[in-house]
Structure 1
């Protein structure tokens, strides 16, 4: 199956240009890129889950030995703290985001805090919302890649914001509560 990438002039309903076929694997939900195909940037559009109003947009870029995640997440309670993780599946279809599966953990490590001993590859420090309920995200996640199809590749997986802080010790997921926002990591 092939999809054509086209630009439409919606005001007039006319076709302006078609760029040709693109493989459907690159547009399917949660599909990893072709083996060896690194990407320069990805995006995760964070949508509300579990009846929350939390949303945002995060940009992911390769950096050093991992991936940098930057952006803003709003709709949080003022001055609140929230667990934040990469989850194993790029599927945010369930109302409670349970379709994203557990924390991304290709090495089979116990849950913990990144940079402080054994931890899941998807374990990230808690997000802290400001007095306006916005968390400004700027974090480096070491030991993961963006594209390429290796075991530690986060492209096609999901980012999840949880209702309460991760305690970094409870197994298997830090007792971070409900999933209140979910976004699949995709090529823009």
Structure 2
């Protein structure tokens, strides 16, 4: 009986994909020059996905921050990340009465020294399978902008240039684990 129970549990874990590490999921955050400036940690919660952002080297003040539709952070402009993640086809802005993009987040604040440490919530998102999954298809990305998001302007809150980006994929921890400046240091030697 014990062996049957173990076999059933193993089969269920295999079928449901629980072998993939989806939460917590950590990604490296890069600036426009390709330097690693921080981390983004995503944690599945009962009410959505908690987003923890730790960054340095930002301009002091508020910054718009959004999940974008593609897991591509090609600098210096990060346009490769595409538009905001919006699988439910809503309008932009947390203050929009018709609803917001799934990827819309409150602004983060960088201190005078350029450090930002924020904990935010994506209420309708998930790391599990489904339409609002941040990991659907190839994944998504998290982008920090140069200025604050006004919460209403279409299509993206008038938050300025894209200044930092983190790819959100199942392999993000493996592919971006090392400090990108290490390669530069080796080439200089």
TM-score by length of 1: 0.73
Shift of 1:35: 9.3
- Report if aligned partners of 2:28, 2:36 keep a CA contact under 8 Å in 1: no
1:175 aligns with 2:158: yes
Relative distance call for 1:83 and 1:65 in structure 2 (3 A) is same
Secondary structure class of the residue paired with 1:110 = coil
Long gaps (5+) in structure 2: 1-13, 174-189
Relative distance call for 1:55 and 1:81 in structure 2 (3 A) is same
Question: Residue by residue, what CA displacement relative to the aligned partner does 1:41-90 show, whole Å, maximum 9, x if unpaired?
Answer: 211211012x5978210111101121011131110123x11000000001
2:86 to 105, 126, 149: 105
Long gaps (5+) in structure 1: 1-33
More helix by share: 2
1:82 aligns with 2:63: yes
Question: Residue by residue, what CA displacement relative to the aligned partner does 1:98-142 show, whole Å, maximum 9, x if unpaired?
Answer: 000000000000001179751000000001011221110211110
1:64 to 41, 46, 62: 46
CA RMSD of aligned residues (A): 2.3
Name which one, 1 or 2, has greater alpha-carbon Rg.
2
Query: For 1:96-175, what aligned pairs fall within 5 Å after superposition?
Result: 96-113=77-94, 118-148=99-129, 150-155=130-135, 156-175=139-158
The size of the alignment, in residue pairs, is: 152
Report which stretch shifted further, 104-113 or 139-148.
139-148
Relative distance call for 1:116 and 1:142 in structure 2 (3 A) is farther
